[in-house]
């Protein structure tokens, strides 16, 4: 009887940001037990990974995965193992009044590891402009109740990793005092509970200087490359603001959070290529309104940073080890190393060209893109059935990248 899996001959990126190794990876039970060249078969199921990238299970730091609940959410299975993602962080879909059913009905039944941020708004993420009636998270200042949020986190300490606030003027009835109250409340709850605060800051009445100056080491500023005013870059040439540089120096995390409206080439290109302001973490902000484009899945978002010029080892590190560190789970996931959880993703770099769209429908042609092939979650193997991106060119690419059969 086989003891586990032996993944042989892959191009191994361990998640540390170092260069690839030609090595084998042995999984036994729920753990990685050995990594090295030419490992001996010990009765394992062997997987031929020749021509494939082998890396830690992908970690998406920003999703909305509360199943069918609410305006935005999708099921974890739609954005998880089928696309190479083994762990995800729900970015504040639920607040203290509706977090319980999320934990008990969605998280407990998911094959993926699903963690969450608690929205400072009691009912969580609410408003979407195309859905009537439009109700914003911060419409009612009475719903920003710090004691209730603290109590919720103390009742569910294992899966709630921090707090979340959406700072957008329209979500606060265009009342700056509502935005300030939401921001202040999220920071207070994070401070009291010893957790991080994650901030969505898009089309807000609050300036980047006001927001960034209050964030602490380990707090997360998402939607970094959005194209709206009051972004963390100069309006004219995408030079990082001094407040942005100061925040990064203090240890504030800058996350991609692609989303439906928060990644544009005209900002990302100069910010990254000319000014060297690369993200700390790569994430999708996947939800119901972008899963069919322009986001699709985590490998597509990773491919956009390959297109920008970020080396493969750094793309993988910012999609595995870095988010694990932000989530304070880097002692168990995000790294291919003996003793770590047996979460492994196998990818293929396929030849294009492929069209990559931003949220303004601007396109870049990429010569290659990443395609998920196979995933291991806690030592169990699953096929990657792919993406919601359906074009004839992509379908042909998927067909040509069929999984190699087991060698034993």
Query: What's the pLDDT score for residue 393?
Result: 54
* pLDDT for the residue 6: 97
* Band of residue 2 on the pLDDT scale cut at 50, 70, 90: low
| Paired residues of 89 in beta bridges | 115
pLDDT confidence tier of residue 63, bands split at 50, 70 and 90: very high
Confidence of residue 129 (pLDDT cuts 50, 70, 90): confident
> pLDDT digit string (tens) for 265-280?
999 999 999 999 999 9
Report DSSP letters for 26-77, one per residue.
EEETTEEEEEETTPPPSSPEEEE-TT-EEEEPEEEEEE---TT-TTT---HH
Q: What is the mean pLDDT of residues 145-172?
A: 97
Q: Which of these ranges, 1-15, 225-239, 261-275, has the smallest mean pLDDT?
A: 1-15
Residue range 342-364: mean pLDDT, rounded: 96
CA distance 285 to 198: 13
As given in the structure block, the two tokens for residue 178 are 């509502």
Identify whether the C-beta of residue 222 lies closer than 8 Å to the C-beta of residue 91.
yes
Residue-level pLDDT at 392: 53
246 or 125: which leads in pLDDT? 246
Q: Measure the CA–CA gap between 341 and 378, rounded to whole angstroms.
A: 6
What share of the chain in percent tops pLDDT 90? 87
Q: What is the sign, positive or negative, of the torsion defined by CA atoms of 168, 85, 316, 117?
A: positive
Predicted local confidence at residue 385, as pLDDT = 82
**Residue partners of 249: CB distance under 8 A and separation at least 6:** none
Between CA 44 and CA 127 the distance in angstroms is 50
Query: For the segment 380-403, what is each residue's pLDDT rounded down to a tens digit?
Result: 999 998 766 655 555 555 555 544
Q: What are the phi and psi torsion angles at 394 (to 5°)? A: -70, -40
Neighbours of 158 (CB within 10 A): 8
- Using pLDDT thresholds of 50, 70 and 90, give the confidence band for residue 1: very low
pLDDT at site 130: 77
Does the global pTM surpass 0.85? yes
- Mind listing the domains of the chain with CATH numbers? 4-55+338-354+366-400 (2.30.40.10), 57-326 (3.20.20.140)
């Amino acid at each position: 009887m086989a003891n586990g899996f032996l993944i042989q001959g892959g191009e191994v990126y361990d998640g540390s940001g170092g260069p690839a190794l030609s090595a084998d990876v042995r999984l036994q039970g729920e753990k990685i037990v050995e990594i090295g060249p030419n490992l001996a078969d010990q009765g394992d199921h062997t997987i031929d990974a020749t021509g494939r990238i082998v890396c830690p299970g992908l970690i998406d730091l920003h999703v909305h995965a509360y199943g069918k609940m609410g305006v935005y959410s999708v099921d974890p299975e739609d954005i998880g193992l089928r696309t190479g993602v083994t762990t995800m962080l729900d970015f504040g879909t639920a607040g203290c009044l509706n977090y319980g059913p999320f934990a008990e009905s969605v998280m407990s039944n998911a094959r993926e590891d699903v963690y969450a941020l608690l929205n400072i708004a009691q009912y969580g993420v609410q408003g979407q402009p195309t859905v009537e009636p439009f109700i914003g998270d911060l419409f009612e200042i009475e719903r920003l109740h710090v004691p209730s949020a603290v109590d919720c986190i103390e009742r569910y300490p294992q899966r709630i990793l921090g707090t979340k606030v959406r700072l957008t003027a329209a979500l606060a009835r265009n009342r700056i005092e509502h935005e300030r109250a939401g921001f202040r409340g999220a920071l207070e709850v994070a401070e009291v509970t010893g957790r991080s605060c994650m901030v969505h800051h898009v089309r807000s009445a609050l300036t980047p200087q006001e927001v960034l100056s209050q964030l602490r080491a380990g707090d997360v500023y998402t939607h970094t490359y959005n194209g709206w005013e009051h972004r963390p870059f100069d309006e004219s040439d995408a030079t990082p603001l001094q407040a942005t540089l100061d925040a990064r120096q203090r240890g504030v995390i800058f996350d991609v959070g692609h989303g439906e409206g928060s990644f544009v080439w005209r900002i990302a290109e100069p910010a990254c290529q000319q000014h060297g302001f690369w993200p700390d973490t790569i994430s999708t902000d996947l939800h119901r309104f972008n899963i069919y484009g322009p986001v699709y899945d985590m490998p597509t978002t990773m491919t956009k940073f390959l297109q920008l010029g970020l080396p493969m080892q750094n793309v993988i590190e910012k999609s595995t080890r870095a988010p694990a560190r932000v989530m304070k789970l880097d002692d168990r996931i995000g790294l291919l190393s003996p003793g770590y959880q047996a979460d492994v993703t196998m990818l293929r770099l396929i030849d294009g060209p492929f069209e990559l769209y931003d949220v303004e429908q601007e396109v870049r042609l990429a010569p290659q893109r990443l395609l998920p092939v196979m995933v291991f979650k806690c030592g169990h193997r699953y096929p990657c059935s792919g993406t919601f991106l359906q074009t004839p060119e992509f379908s042909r690419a998927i067909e040509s990248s069929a999984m190699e059969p087991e060698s034993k």
